[in-house]
Amino acid sequence: MIKSFFNTFFPKRRIISDPVSDSQNPLISVLGFVPCDPQYYYLAFLHKSALVKDNKGQKLDNERLEFLGDALLQAVISDVLYHHFPSQDEGFMTMMRSKLVKRENLDELAEKIGLPLLVQGHKSNNNRHVYGNALEALIGAIYLDKGYGACKQFVESRILARYVNLARLAKTEENFKSKLIEWGQKQHKTIRFELIAEEPQADNLIKFHSKVYVDDIELGLGVGFAKRKAEQNASKQALRKLNIV
């Protein structure tokens, strides 16, 4: 497995970089640069199902790099958002970061930049999270190979600039209610909302308080200046308790 990987992406006899060959190399095409130490990238794409061990019998996979890359991605995204939205508060930036690093988004981005072609050992289409995890591991590998600056450059130029419109994302409100209802349908659960209070406010505003029940078990309480907003907030709380967001 290791020999096959290096023969495919880093031919042993090629000492001087060849721009034509590099442009056709799937790993270098993803990265936008030639790695210093290819072994980090081998590990980044090595799913645990490959059952690879080193010469000491230790199991090799990308889970440690995934742990490192997750923290680095959070830092890079925070860095980018801090400078891109200078007038926004902490709550806004936290919300934006959550949208960018949520698992479904990372899975989609990983597929767009071509990681399914590089992941070793996992061939099932039933778990797209494998590719999002590999993206985090890849960021960890870039950090170990090139440092934080290269990580930030990779995320900004190879991912955000190509596939993410930050201004549009900032205007997108995630529909937590629809997401909860969709989950309930798939899991054969009954989702029920209950308006428990309408609290008059100044300027003729009304603050709505809503609860959401899953199979008659209360899982979320939401408040908002519209019934829909209260139900959205209740749904968001329920999804968090269900470990869905």
Q: Does residue 39 share a domain with residue 155? A: yes
Q: Does residue 220 share a domain with residue 160? A: no
pLDDT at 56: 75
Strands 206-214 and 217-224: antiparallel
Owning domain of residue 101: 2-171
pLDDT tens readout for residues 23-74: 568 889 899 999 999 999 999 998 887 777 777 778 888 999 999 999 999 9
Catalytic residue among 61, 107, 136, 231: 136
Q: What is the CATH number of the domain that holds 153?
A: 1.10.1520.10
Q: Does residue 195 share a domain with residue 167? A: no
Active site residue 136: yes
Q: Does residue 221 share a domain with residue 121? A: no
Q: Does residue 29 share a domain with residue 104? A: yes
Q: Does residue 35 share a domain with residue 14? A: yes
Average pLDDT over residues 155-181: 88
Among the three residues 171, 191, 216, which one is the final residue of a domain in this structure? 171
Q: Does residue 214 share a domain with residue 148? A: no
pLDDT tens readout for residues 173-183: 677 888 899 89
Q: Does residue 122 share a domain with residue 25? A: yes
Q: Does residue 234 share a domain with residue 117? A: no
* Total structural domains within the chain: 2
> Are 62 and 137 spatial neighbours (Cβ–Cβ below 8 Å)?
yes
Active site residue 194: no
Q: If you write DSSP's letter for every residue of 226-237 in order, what string do you get?
A: SHHHHHHHHHHH
Token pair for 55: 């010469």
Q: What is the CATH number of the domain that holds 237?
A: 3.30.160.20
Token pair for 223: 């408040």
Q: Does residue 160 share a domain with residue 237? A: no
Residue 3 has pLDDT above 70, yes or no: no
Catalytic residue among 66, 70, 145, 231: 70
pLDDT tens readout for residues 69-116: 999 999 999 999 999 999 988 878 888 898 899 888 999 999 999 998
* Percent of the chain predicted with pLDDT > 90: 54
